[in-house]
Structure 1
Amino acid sequence: MGLRKSYIVCLLAILVAGLSFIFISCQQTTHQNTDDTLARVGNEYLTIDQAVNNIPEAVLSEDSVNALTKYRENWIRQQLLLQEATRLGLDQKPEVQQKIERAREEILRQALKDYVLASEEDDMQITDEEARTYYQANKEQFVLEEDFVKFRHMRTKTIKEARNARQDLLDGVPWSEVAHTYAINPSTVISESDQYWPISMAAQDIDIMHRYLTVIGQSEISPIQRVDGVYHFVQLIETRSEGDHPNLEWLIEQIKDWMILNNRQRNFSSYVKNLYLKAESNNEIETFNVLPTKFNRNSTLQDTLENNSTNE
């Protein structure tokens, strides 16, 4: 990560200050606080580390300079808004203070929940065997809501490659061999062909291929079509009909995630209940009977107190 960040520092320096500055920054080690600073608004500073830690890894990897530039510009705008709100004294208004306090309380409650669940993480892991047992006991709950298909989607650079790939499959050449010989991205097409897809999502990025999958028969290969300079065809391998039970292997990770989530909710509910019982036993909770027997929109709290009073 250190080398990656150094690389990003250099790229941003080129963007912001030009080649002369990047040469100095990358070749020399200095003690100035602005070495890793992307921006300043008033007394607030944005560092490269802060930005990198708040940008999704995929976005940063795709174009680090562009991602950091956009983040910096957004950060500047947000800081300007905050400082203007403070200058106007909005942070001192009672209604704003109440909202801030409610937000603080909600953050603390969520922090407590995260803390409790993290402390019990090891005890909440679900094994494959536990997931299989749950699936078998509740199999009637797991049915396909639409057709699922398993298919091969060939993508080639030339029509000749597409025709050769199609003919090889018709001649019985193994799919992996055909994919490695002709496909634009062999590992991707092989990986995709090992999965079952909801028919609504099957080859959805290429509409004509999606439509072929809804009409061709098992093992049948579609005609070749050229889309955006790439040659495509699909072969339907297997269909699982709506209403069928899915293979456990499709669901095992989802079942484990659901069981873990259910355990977390149950454990935290128990934790809250124990907190309540403990506070109750320590006389830390007290309720007051000031509520009306029947709700009346015209009654007030004072009315209720007077109606409940007695001279006895």
Structure 2
Amino acid sequence: MKKVSNTYMSSWKKNSVLILCLCSLWGCDFIKMKDSANGEDSEKGEPIARVKDQYLYLEDLEGIAPAGMSKEDSSSRVDRFIHNWIQKQLLIQEAATQIEFNEADIERKVLDYKYSLMGYQYQSYYVNKRLNKEVSDEEVSQYYDEHIDNFILKQNIIRGRYIKLPLNAPKIKKVKSLITSSKKKDLDELNSYCLSFATKYQLDDSVWMIFDEVIQDSPLAEIPNKVQYLQKQKYAETSDDKFKYFLRIEEFRISDNISPLEFVKEDIRSIIINKRKVELAKKLEDEVYERATQNNEFEIYN
């Protein structure tokens, strides 16, 4: 019989708080302990693992490794399941010696979880089948205008261009004239150059970026007063012992101010879609309740 390794048990101890939080979902195992003690597993054949008087049988592994899974992956998944079962049983049996369980309460929680899971799965099916994920720019703009106070910047952001180049990159002196140019041919040349030599770059100056993320790992990150810097600087070059950094700032917004619409557009799309999900879930509940009411499918006894 395979033993639980010290390394594995150490990993379990680190996650013991999470496991304790899931104890309410283990009621079926707790109930199974009682059934097993009454001999209800006697016809299951030879066990494959044991914890005191509790046994794990081959048929308990049904569906653990789906068809088509490689022999190695299947064996690994089964082995992991067995170890998890052993850990779970050890914790349950330890708990049974330390505190008194209300078995009726545990069974009630198991049933409540089961029914909640069934309802959630159907609700997800209903919502996903009917959900419209298309969000127009007009809807985004309207939501932004109606909830503009919710879009306060938490960080400084910029629109501009940024390039990080190795010091040995060729023709590095020409980069300044290219990054500050507005001519399409210069920008095409700069893009081609960055594709070949840059370690990091952003050339689309219509995109809003978090300033701290742009300048991280560069000497610019050590700027003592970033707000003052943004207010005064439109172009900067700096270097360290390995790289040369170029920054051109087209526009900036300071934290605690209203975020530009473009910066939060995708967040708003997600918010709108999530609101539709909530509305569909509520619609389902109302439909089911209304239909049951009309068909006299339930009663409440006083």
TM-score band (shorter)? 0.5 to 0.7
Contact 2:238/2:244 (8 A) holds in 1: no
CA deviations 1:199-253 (Å, max 9, x no partner) are 343333x153333592364422131123xx4444433332123354433333333
Q: Which amino acid aligns with 2:275?
A: N
Contact 1:153/1:193 (8 A) holds in 2: no
Counterpart of 1:126 in structure 2 is 135
Aligned-partner Cα distance in 1 for 2:81–2:188 = 52
Q: Which amino acid aligns with 2:81?
A: Q
Aligned-partner Cα distance in 1 for 2:137–2:75 = 45
CA deviations 1:146-185 (Å, max 9, x no partner) are 4211243322233454842554347748355234325666
CA deviations 1:79-117 (Å, max 9, x no partner) are 332267579998xx9576555434322221211111111
SS of the residue 1:234 aligns to: strand
Counterpart of 1:219 in structure 2 is 234
Task: Note the C-alpha offset of 1:259.
Answer: 1.4
Runs of at least 5 residues in structure 1 that lack an aligned partner in the other structure: 1-39, 52-67, 290-312
- CA gap of 1:157–1:145, structure 2 versus 1, over 3 A, is closer
**For the aligned residues, what is the CA RMSD?**
4.3
Aligned-partner Cα distance in 1 for 2:179–2:141 = 38
1:196 equivalenced with 2:208 (yes/no):
yes
Of 262, 272, 286, the match for 1:249: 262
Counterpart of 2:118 in structure 1 is 108
1:82 equivalenced with 2:85 (yes/no):
yes
Of 200, 204, 219, the match for 1:208: 219
Q: Which amino acid aligns with 1:125?
A: E
Contact 1:159/1:231 (8 A) holds in 2: no
Contact 2:179/2:190 (8 A) holds in 1: no
Counterpart of 2:44 in structure 1 is none
Counterpart of 1:261 in structure 2 is 274
- CA gap of 1:187–1:230, structure 2 versus 1, over 3 A, is closer
TM-score by length of 2: 0.56
Identity between Structure 1 and Structure 2 (%)? 14
Q: How does 1:1-312 map to 2 (within 5 A)?
A: 43=58, 44=61, 46=65, 50=69, 73=76, 76-82=79-85, 94=103, 98-122=108-132, 125-159=134-168, 161=170, 163-169=172-178, 172=181, 174-182=186-194, 189-190=201-202, 194-204=206-216, 206=217, 208-212=219-223, 214=226, 215=229, 217-226=232-241, 229-289=242-302
Contact 2:157/2:209 (8 A) holds in 1: yes
TM-score by length of 1: 0.55
Q: Which amino acid aligns with 2:238?
A: P
Aligned-partner Cα distance in 2 for 1:148–1:223 = 20
Counterpart of 1:301 in structure 2 is none
Higher RCO, Cα 8 Å, sep 6+: 2
- CA gap of 1:278–1:220, structure 2 versus 1, over 3 A, is same
The number of residues matched between the two structures is 227
Task: Note the C-alpha offset of 1:197.
Answer: 1.9
Runs of at least 5 residues in structure 2 that lack an aligned partner in the other structure: 1-47, 50-56, 94-100
Q: Which amino acid aligns with 2:121?
A: A
